[in-house]
Amino acid sequence: MFKSVTLYVKSEKIDEFIEATLENQRSSRMEEGILCFDFFQCKDDLTRFLLHEGYKTEEAVEAHMKTEHYKKWVGTAEHCFSGPRERAIYIPVEAEK
């Protein structure tokens, strides 16, 4: 399963948010249940970011949200947001073999 999260960050908090999110990304990529953990900044709106996260199972999502690095990220990043996060869960669509 894949999760997409769009985040809107206060312009004066961009550097702090990037630093916290890169730290979370590095630690998250070492988790057993993570397939991918990508972090993007919008070229046309530098206050808009996208997280693209891939997990092997639902349990891996739950395990990720219990990690110390995730909790630290939430504690740091929460005050950087200028609006609500937009989340979407995606499941693979594959052609028949």
Q: What is the pLDDT of residues 3-25, one digit of tens each?
A: 999 999 999 999 999 999 999 99
**pLDDT one-digit tens code per residue, 40-55:** 999 999 999 999 999 9
**Is 58 within 8 Å of 1 (Cβ atoms)?**
yes
| 96 within domain boundaries | no
Instruction: Kindly report the average pLDDT of the chain as a whole number.
Output: 96
| 95 within domain boundaries | no
Question: What CATH number does residue 83 fall under?
Answer: 3.30.70.100
Give the range of the structural domain holding residue 70, as residue numbers without chain letter: 2-90
**Is 96 within 8 Å of 50 (Cβ atoms)?**
no
How many structural domains does the chain have?
1
In the chain, where do the E strands start and end?
2-8, 34-41, 48-55, 86-90
Whats the size of the chain, residue-wise? 97
**Tokens at 49, concatenated:** 């970011």
In this prediction, residue 74 carries a pLDDT of: 96
pTM: 0.91
